Amino acid sequence: MTLMAAPETHPGATTLTALVVDPNLDSRLEAVVAAKRAGIVVAAEAAYGAEATFLAVEREPSVILLSLEEPPMRGLATVEALHRQSPQIPVVVYSSQADPTFLRRAMRAGARDFLEKPMRADDLAEAVQSALAQERMRGEDAIEGREGRGGLGTIVTVAGAKGGIGKSTLAVNLAIALRQLTGQEVALVDADVQFGDVSVMLDIEPTPERCISYLGRGSMEVTRQAVAESVIPHSSGVDVLGVFPEPQDWRAVGPARIARIATALAETHEYVVVDTPGTINELVAASICEADIVLLVTSLEMSSIKDTKTAVRILQLLEVDAGRIRLVINDSTDATTVTPSDVAEATGLRVAQVIPHDKQLGRSVQRGVPILLEQPKGRFPQSVREVAGAIAGVATQQPRRGFRFR
């Protein structure tokens, strides 16, 4: 999918222009300098409010860079106004507050990406390219839908608002189940670039040259071949793009890269399963925007429901078509304070699958052998096979709950 190509594959194709919205003059100057370094022409500068919305209409910039600091109310109101008035111009927020609540509030207001200050020129360039690519894709989607992907494989992103709810366990076992069910090529991407544990679950060892961060380096072009050389084949037949635990490197993989990695793998694999971290950051947003199917995982705890409601709102802001979202309840904690129908009611989504609690899981995780291989008849493996069957459109042995995608 050329639409999501990383910036480096289209150097300077068209001139990018920006409107910089920042009430603080020093901070604004820094943003202007970063924009220029990133090859973006600053078309106008403004403080919050009407000045910004007026200039957005008058100058029609490719992108709006907007500063958000405490107290955020006026900034958020400006993001909302800009998003309402010119929804086709992506807003990229920058801030010295890297905290996730701040990020969520910005995204809820309509921001497309979030950068921490001081902004590095290449991060900014990547964020802008990614925001524009998402924008183009949105337009394209409206016309031709996801079928427009041509012969590409199906990208399944496993996401959720929290950690510890079984996303990685599901992603790993789902990839193996898809491989077993269909016999086709399956790739598994660990997009939890900071704390990813997919490799531990599969007992494989990524190296600095065979891991996801390798593909994030500025000099790396994310070609099909580069991706193929970075994956590690697991004995199950699944190709794994894992995380090498090297803290300096995790920032290198930006949203445009992750999207490109997923599509590059979808050129060679029928299924690409993407595991994500426990918050919806900009990388997760990109993985979600790129997905054909989003498995939104939640547990049966009160707090998880609250967070899943927030996640659903974020997905709406990202304009992820509800038809692509599948709510999966995973009873990972066995602390069933609420029922699946409570979750459905709270989130407004139909429950696609309930994965039961399975005590065998703890042991298999410790040994680095996925439960689907070790205890294939167990409750968790059976349930995961149903999910895989629904995704692949293949009937499993006991079709029970009508989990159908197509």
Ligand X SMILES: Nc1ncnc2c1ncn2[C@@H]1O[C@H](COP(=O)(O)OP(=O)(O)O)[C@@H](O)[C@H]1O
For ligand X, the closer CB: 190 or 282: 190
- Binding flags for ligand X, 136-175, as an x/- string (CB under 6 A): ------------------------x--xxxxxxx------
For ligand X, the closer CB: 324 or 357: 357
Measured from the CB of residue 287, what is the shortest distance to ligand X in angstroms? 14
For ligand X, the closer CB: 83 or 162: 162
369 part of the interface to ligand X, by CB under 6 A? no
Stretch that binds ligand X, among 73-81, 89-97, 358-366, 391-399 (CB under 6 A): 358-366
Q: Which two tokens stand for residue 305?
A: 């429901």
User: Helix (H, G, I), strand (E, B), or coil: what is residue 273?
Assistant: strand
Alpha carbon of 260 to those of 90, 206, 252, 291: distances in Å? 19, 20, 14, 12
**Who contacts 352 (Cβ-Cβ below 8 Å, separation ≥6)?**
295, 326, 327, 328, 387, 390, 403
> Which single residue is written with the structure tokens 């599948």?
326
**Could you tell which of Mg ion, ligand X, none binds residue 357, using a CB distance below 5 to 8 A set by kind?**
ligand X
CB neighbours (10 Å) of residue 53? Answer: 20
Stretch that binds Mg ion, among 74-82, 159-167, 325-333, 393-401 (CB under 5 A): 159-167
Q: What is the chain's Cα-based Rg?
A: 21
**Who contacts 70 (Cβ-Cβ below 8 Å, separation ≥6)?**
97
Q: Point out the residue whose Cβ comes nearest to ligand X.
A: 166
Region label for 395, one of left (φ > 0), alpha (ψ between -120 and 50) or beta (otherwise):
beta
List 53, 95, 230, 330, residue binding ligand X (CB under 6 A): 330
For ligand X, the closer CB: 196 or 254: 196
**Could you tell which of Mg ion, ligand X, none binds residue 48, using a CB distance below 5 to 8 A set by kind?**
none
Per DSSP (E only), the strands in 11-127 are 16-21, 40-46, 63-67, 91-95, 113-116
For residue 111, give the H/E element and its range: none
287 part of the interface to Mg ion, by CB under 5 A? no
CB neighbours (10 Å) of residue 315? Answer: 22
**Could you tell which of ligand X, Mg ion, none binds residue 154, using a CB distance below 5 to 8 A set by kind?**
none
Find out whether 67 and 24 touch, Cβ atoms under 8 Å. Answer: yes
> Which single residue is written with the structure tokens 């894992």?
242
Stretch that binds ligand X, among 26-34, 91-99, 312-320, 357-365 (CB under 6 A): 357-365
> Which single residue is written with the structure tokens 């077993």?
180
278 part of the interface to ligand X, by CB under 6 A? yes
Q: Point out the residue whose Cβ comes nearest to Mg ion.
A: 168
Phi first, then psi: give them for residue 96, nearest 5 degrees.
-90, -5
Number of residues lying near Mg ion (CB under 5 A): 2
292 part of the interface to ligand X, by CB under 6 A? no
94 part of the interface to ligand X, by CB under 6 A? no
Measured from the CB of residue 269, what is the shortest distance to ligand X in angstroms? 22
For Mg ion, the closer CB: 83 or 167: 167
358 part of the interface to ligand X, by CB under 6 A? yes
**Who contacts 338 (Cβ-Cβ below 8 Å, separation ≥6)?**
300, 301, 302, 305
Measured from the CB of residue 362, what is the shortest distance to ligand X in angstroms? 6
Number of residues lying near ligand X (CB under 6 A): 19
DSSP symbol at 333: S
List 27, 67, 130, 168, residue binding Mg ion (CB under 5 A): 168
C-alpha 272/C-alpha 372 separation (Å) is 18
Find out whether 314 and 100 touch, Cβ atoms under 8 Å. Answer: no
For ligand X, the closer CB: 167 or 179: 167
Q: Which two tokens stand for residue 400?
A: 């029970």
Stretch that binds ligand X, among 15-23, 237-245, 257-265, 327-335 (CB under 6 A): 327-335
- Give the interface with ligand X as residue ranges (CB under 6 A): 160, 163-169, 278, 330-332, 355, 357-358, 361-362, 365, 380
Binding site for Mg ion (CB under 5 A): 167-168
